[in-house]
A = this chain, B = another copy of it.
Amino acid sequence: MADAALFEFLHTEMVAELWAHDPDPSPGGQKMSLSVLEGMGFRVGQALGERLPRETLAFREELDILKFLCKDLWVAVFQKQMDSLRTNHQGTYVLQDNSFPLLVRMASGQQYLEEAPKFLAFTCGLLRGALSTLGIKSLVTASVAALPACKFQVVIQKS
Protein backbone atom coordinates (compact mmCIF):
# COMPACT_ATOMS: atom_id res chain seq x y z
CA MET A 1 0.00 0.00 0.00
CA ALA A 2 1.36 3.37 -1.02
CA ASP A 3 1.11 6.69 0.76
CA ALA A 4 -2.32 7.99 -0.17
CA ALA A 5 -1.03 11.51 -0.73
CA LEU A 6 1.24 10.29 -3.50
CA PHE A 7 -1.62 9.81 -5.97
CA GLU A 8 -3.10 13.18 -5.06
CA PHE A 9 0.20 15.05 -5.48
CA LEU A 10 0.93 13.29 -8.75
CA HIS A 11 -2.56 14.05 -10.06
CA THR A 12 -2.11 17.74 -9.19
CA GLU A 13 1.23 17.84 -11.03
CA MET A 14 -0.26 16.10 -14.04
CA VAL A 15 -3.07 18.65 -14.31
CA ALA A 16 -0.64 21.54 -13.85
CA GLU A 17 1.73 20.11 -16.43
CA LEU A 18 -0.97 19.57 -19.06
CA TRP A 19 -2.23 23.12 -18.65
CA ALA A 20 1.22 24.72 -18.46
CA HIS A 21 2.38 23.19 -21.73
CA ASP A 22 -0.96 23.35 -23.50
CA PRO A 23 0.00 24.85 -26.85
CA ASP A 24 -3.51 26.15 -27.34
CA PRO A 25 -5.19 28.01 -24.46
CA SER A 26 -8.48 28.41 -26.37
CA PRO A 27 -11.58 26.45 -25.30
CA GLY A 28 -10.64 23.90 -27.99
CA GLY A 29 -7.17 23.44 -26.45
CA GLN A 30 -8.67 23.07 -22.98
CA LYS A 31 -10.95 20.40 -24.36
CA MET A 32 -7.96 18.51 -25.68
CA SER A 33 -6.20 18.57 -22.29
CA LEU A 34 -9.39 17.34 -20.66
CA SER A 35 -9.62 14.51 -23.14
CA VAL A 36 -5.96 13.58 -22.58
CA LEU A 37 -6.62 13.40 -18.83
CA GLU A 38 -9.78 11.40 -19.40
CA GLY A 39 -7.84 8.96 -21.59
CA MET A 40 -5.15 8.51 -18.95
CA GLY A 41 -7.88 7.86 -16.38
CA PHE A 42 -9.50 5.33 -18.69
CA ARG A 43 -6.32 3.28 -19.07
CA VAL A 44 -5.54 3.43 -15.33
CA GLY A 45 -9.16 2.39 -14.62
CA GLN A 46 -8.84 -0.52 -17.04
CA ALA A 47 -5.61 -1.64 -15.41
CA LEU A 48 -7.06 -1.36 -11.90
CA GLY A 49 -10.14 -3.23 -13.12
CA GLU A 50 -7.94 -6.11 -14.22
CA ARG A 51 -6.57 -6.44 -10.70
CA LEU A 52 -10.00 -6.91 -9.16
CA PRO A 53 -10.66 -10.19 -7.38
CA ARG A 54 -12.02 -12.77 -9.77
CA GLU A 55 -15.32 -13.24 -8.02
CA THR A 56 -16.31 -9.71 -8.98
CA LEU A 57 -16.30 -10.80 -12.59
CA ALA A 58 -19.29 -12.98 -11.75
CA PHE A 59 -21.47 -9.92 -11.12
CA ARG A 60 -24.66 -10.37 -13.02
CA GLU A 61 -26.50 -7.14 -12.31
CA GLU A 62 -25.37 -3.76 -13.57
CA LEU A 63 -26.34 -2.25 -10.22
CA ASP A 64 -23.99 -4.66 -8.40
CA ILE A 65 -21.11 -3.48 -10.55
CA LEU A 66 -21.90 0.17 -9.86
CA LYS A 67 -22.10 -0.56 -6.11
CA PHE A 68 -18.76 -2.29 -6.35
CA LEU A 69 -17.17 0.80 -7.94
CA CYS A 70 -18.69 3.07 -5.29
CA LYS A 71 -17.22 0.93 -2.56
CA ASP A 72 -14.12 -1.04 -3.55
CA LEU A 73 -12.75 1.10 -6.39
CA TRP A 74 -13.34 4.34 -4.49
CA VAL A 75 -11.62 2.98 -1.37
CA ALA A 76 -8.64 1.74 -3.40
CA VAL A 77 -8.15 5.15 -5.00
CA PHE A 78 -9.53 7.67 -2.51
CA GLN A 79 -9.62 5.80 0.83
CA LYS A 80 -13.33 6.49 1.26
CA GLN A 81 -16.63 5.25 -0.13
CA MET A 82 -18.89 7.18 -2.45
CA ASP A 83 -21.62 8.91 -0.44
CA SER A 84 -24.62 7.98 -2.53
CA LEU A 85 -25.69 6.10 -5.64
CA ARG A 86 -28.96 6.72 -7.43
CA THR A 87 -30.38 5.25 -10.60
CA ASN A 88 -33.41 5.72 -12.84
CA HIS A 89 -33.32 1.94 -13.48
CA GLN A 90 -32.91 2.70 -17.17
CA GLY A 91 -29.14 2.68 -17.41
CA THR A 92 -28.37 6.05 -15.84
CA TYR A 93 -26.55 6.22 -12.50
CA VAL A 94 -25.64 9.25 -10.41
CA LEU A 95 -22.75 8.75 -8.00
CA GLN A 96 -22.33 11.52 -5.46
CA ASP A 97 -19.23 12.24 -3.40
CA ASN A 98 -19.92 14.97 -0.83
CA SER A 99 -16.24 15.66 -0.28
CA PHE A 100 -14.32 14.58 -3.35
CA PRO A 101 -10.63 14.35 -2.36
CA LEU A 102 -9.29 15.92 -5.56
CA LEU A 103 -11.46 19.00 -4.99
CA VAL A 104 -10.95 19.42 -1.24
CA ARG A 105 -7.87 21.63 -1.53
CA MET A 106 -9.65 24.14 -3.74
CA ALA A 107 -12.85 24.06 -1.72
CA SER A 108 -12.10 27.19 0.25
CA GLY A 109 -13.52 29.54 -2.33
CA GLN A 110 -16.33 29.19 -4.84
CA GLN A 111 -14.32 31.37 -7.22
CA TYR A 112 -12.48 28.19 -8.19
CA LEU A 113 -15.64 26.51 -9.43
CA GLU A 114 -14.72 27.05 -13.07
CA GLU A 115 -11.39 25.28 -12.49
CA ALA A 116 -13.17 22.15 -11.29
CA PRO A 117 -13.51 20.27 -14.62
CA LYS A 118 -9.76 19.71 -14.90
CA PHE A 119 -9.80 17.96 -11.52
CA LEU A 120 -12.64 15.67 -12.57
CA ALA A 121 -11.63 14.48 -16.06
CA PHE A 122 -9.14 11.86 -14.89
CA THR A 123 -11.68 10.32 -12.51
CA CYS A 124 -14.42 10.24 -15.17
CA GLY A 125 -11.99 8.22 -17.28
CA LEU A 126 -11.12 6.01 -14.30
CA LEU A 127 -14.79 5.03 -13.84
CA ARG A 128 -15.27 4.48 -17.58
CA GLY A 129 -12.10 2.33 -17.75
CA ALA A 130 -13.03 0.16 -14.76
CA LEU A 131 -16.54 -0.35 -16.21
CA SER A 132 -15.01 -1.24 -19.56
CA THR A 133 -12.89 -3.99 -17.98
CA LEU A 134 -16.07 -5.30 -16.33
CA GLY A 135 -17.71 -5.49 -19.75
CA ILE A 136 -19.82 -2.34 -19.62
CA LYS A 137 -19.54 0.44 -22.17
CA SER A 138 -20.50 3.80 -20.70
CA LEU A 139 -20.34 7.57 -20.90
CA VAL A 140 -19.20 9.28 -17.70
CA THR A 141 -19.50 12.99 -17.00
CA ALA A 142 -19.10 14.99 -13.82
CA SER A 143 -20.63 18.14 -12.42
CA VAL A 144 -20.04 20.31 -9.38
CA ALA A 145 -22.66 22.49 -7.73
CA ALA A 146 -20.92 23.31 -4.45
CA LEU A 147 -17.27 22.49 -3.83
CA PRO A 148 -16.00 20.01 -2.71
CA ALA A 149 -19.10 17.92 -3.51
CA CYS A 150 -19.49 16.46 -6.97
CA LYS A 151 -21.63 14.11 -8.97
CA PHE A 152 -20.55 11.58 -11.56
CA GLN A 153 -23.20 10.61 -14.07
CA VAL A 154 -22.75 7.21 -15.67
CA VAL A 155 -24.88 6.44 -18.73
CA ILE A 156 -24.63 2.82 -19.85
CA GLN A 157 -24.32 2.37 -23.60
CA LYS A 158 -26.42 -0.55 -24.70
CA SER A 159 -24.84 -2.46 -27.53
A residues touching B (Cβ–Cβ < 8 Å)? 1-7, 9-11, 13-14, 17, 21, 23, 36, 40, 43-44, 47-48, 51, 76-79
Contact = CB atoms under 8 A, between A and B. Distances in A.
A56 B102 CA distance: 28
A48 B10 CA distance: 11
* A interface: dominant SS: helix
B48 A3 contact: yes
Given A10-B10, A11-B10, A17 B36 contact: yes
Contact of A47 (B5, B14, B17): B5
Contacts of A78: 2
What is the oligomeric copy number? 2
A16 to B, nearest CB: 8
B51 A5 contact: yes
A43 B6 CA distance: 11
* Interface hub of A3, A7, A14, A21 (most chain B Cβ within 10 A): A3
Ordered nearest first, which 6 A-B pairs have the shortest CB separation?
A1-B1, A3-B76, A13-B40, A9-B44, A2-B4, A9-B47
B1 A79 contact: yes
Contacts of A5: 47-48, 51
